[in-house]
């Protein structure tokens, strides 16, 4: 039997709240948030809005619900939403926007940085007529998960926002890992999100909270979002216990994301030396391996047997994500185990 403890690189969502975060949760002041009475949730929402440079924010159970609530709050059924063909919203949210929001999702090719070509967006925005869906929303993602945690350049966000706004189209940013973008680029989240109409971000990824996401935007948008959240069953009661973890994370777990980025770079450089995989050296915390020899699932199994958990990430692709619960020495150990797996498969 394999008794070594696994190094879990499947996602940055696997982190467990540390002792200080649990202490903050234990001490949280709470109330009924559906009545707007929870002081910890109110405090977290104010902090989130401030960090994103927006008027207001609403606390939600997950990034998926935050994106769905954003789509519901910006659109009407039969509208069309433009988004990247590699985006999380398009690939991993069970088409909830179509099912619940009744919108048509119109994917455009993502480039390597997770961006979209200006011309593609311009030509995809439909002219109003009685035949076509109304293009009402453009969704962007930063950092970009399926594009290897790439940071969407600020100038790209600004240009795409201008193209959308000139045509009366709103912009939502899926910023599940926006703080990774801030730390990697040195540009503040408020600057990265200044031209978008809404931004969602996750507490439960690199920020290492057990639960939670925030959607930020104008007061008017967030008022509508609160109704949509309630409709989806996302209105929580004494959720200050969870918000307290978020408040703690915003002041303790952002700068440390730089360590995750450094560990991801070290991991990618080490795996590259093995030679069986092609990959970009990441700028944030996501390493995507393209399998050059052998079958992806055989590799995943060999990694698992050697004590490294990774995840399938599309045809011939494997994802490894660094996070707060794997330090540099765990990455060194992961590289030793991956080398053993390569011998076993080889």
Ligand X SMILES: Cc1ncc(COP(=O)(O)O)c(C=O)c1O
Residue 62 in contact with ligand X, rule: CB under 6 A: yes
Q: Please report whether residue 185 would count as binding ligand X according to CB under 6 A.
A: no
Give every CB contact of residue 220 below 8 A, 6+ residues apart in sequence.
Answer: none
We find the least distance from the C-beta atom of residue 61 to ligand X, in angstroms, to be 8
- When binding is defined by CB under 6 A, the residue of 51, 54, 88, 134 that contacts ligand X is 88
Selection from 190, 195, 178 nearest residue 88 by Cα: 178
SS3 116: strand
Total of chain residues touching ligand X, rule CB under 6 A: 12
Torsion of CA 63, 66, 67, 70, to 10 degrees: -170
Task: Examine residue 141 and tell whether it contacts ligand X (CB under 6 A).
Answer: yes
User: How would you list the strands of the sheet with 135-141, edge to edge?
Assistant: 56-60, 213-217, 198-202, 170-174, 135-141, 80-84, 104-108
Q: Is residue 149 a contact point for ligand X (CB under 6 A)? A: no
SS3 150: strand
How far is the C-alpha of 83 from the C-alpha of 116, rounded, in Å?
8
Give the nearest distance from C-beta 89 to ligand X in angstroms: 7
Q: DSSP characters for 92-106?
A: SSTTHHHHHH-PEEE
15 binds ligand X (CB under 6 A): no
160 interacts with ligand X by CB under 6 A: no
185 vs 276 by CB, closer to ligand X: 185
DSSP letter at 110 equals B
Q: Is 276 in the site for ligand X (CB under 6 A)?
A: no
Does 151 participate in binding ligand X (rule CB under 6 A)?
no
64 binds ligand X (CB under 6 A): yes
Stretch that binds ligand X, among 60-68, 163-171, 254-262, 336-344 (CB under 6 A): 60-68
Q: Residue 32 gets which letter from DSSP?
A: -
Q: Is 176 in the site for ligand X (CB under 6 A)?
A: yes
Query: Is residue 63 at the binding interface for ligand X, with CB under 6 A as the rule?
Result: yes
Binding site for ligand X (CB under 6 A): 62-64, 67, 88, 141, 145, 174, 176, 202, 204, 213
């Amino acid at each position: 039997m394999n008794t070594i403890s696994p190094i879990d690189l499947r996602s940055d969502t696997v982190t467990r709240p540390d002792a200080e975060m649990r202490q903050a949760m234990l001490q949280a002041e709470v109330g009924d948030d559906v009545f707007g009475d929870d002081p910890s949730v109110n405090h977290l929402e104010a902090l989130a809005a401030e960090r994103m440079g927006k008027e207001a924010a609403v606390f939600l159970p997950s990034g998926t619900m935050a994106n769905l609530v954003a789509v519901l709050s910006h659109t009407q059924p039969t509208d069309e939403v433009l988004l990247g063909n590699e985006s999380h919203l398009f690939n991993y949210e069970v088409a909830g926007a179509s099912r619940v929001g009744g919108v048509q999702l119109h994917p455009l090719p993502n480039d390597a940085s997770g961006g979209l070509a200006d011309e593609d967006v311009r030509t995809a925005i439909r002219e109003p007529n009685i035949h076509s869906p109304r293009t009402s929303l453009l969704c962007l993602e930063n950092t970009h998960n399926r594009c290897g945690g790439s940071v969407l350049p600020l100038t790209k966000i600004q240009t795409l926002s201008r193209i959308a706004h000139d045509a009366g189209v709103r912009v939502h940013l899926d910023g599940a890992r926006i703080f990774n973008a801030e730390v990697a680029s040195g540009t503040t989240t408020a600057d990265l999100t200044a031209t978008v109409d809404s931004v969602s971000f996750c507490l439960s990824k690199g920020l290492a909270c057990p639960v939670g996401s925030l959607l930020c935007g104008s007061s008017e948008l967030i008022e509508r979002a609160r109704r949509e959240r309630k409709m989806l069953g996302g209105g929580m009661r004494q959720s200050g216990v969870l918000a307290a973890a978020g408040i703690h994370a915003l002041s303790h777990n952002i700068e440390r994301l730089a360590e995750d980025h450094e560990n991801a770079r070290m991991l990618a450089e080490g795996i590259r030396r093995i030679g069986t995989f092609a990959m970009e050296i990441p700028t944030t915390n996501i390493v995507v391996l393209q399998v050059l020899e052998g079958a992806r699932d055989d590799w995943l199994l060999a990694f698992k047997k050697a004590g490294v958990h990774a995840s399938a990430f599309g045809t011939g692709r494997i994802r490894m994500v660094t996070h707060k619960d794997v330090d540099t020495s765990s990455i060194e150990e992961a590289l030793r185990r991956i080398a053993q797996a390569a011998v076993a498969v080889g």
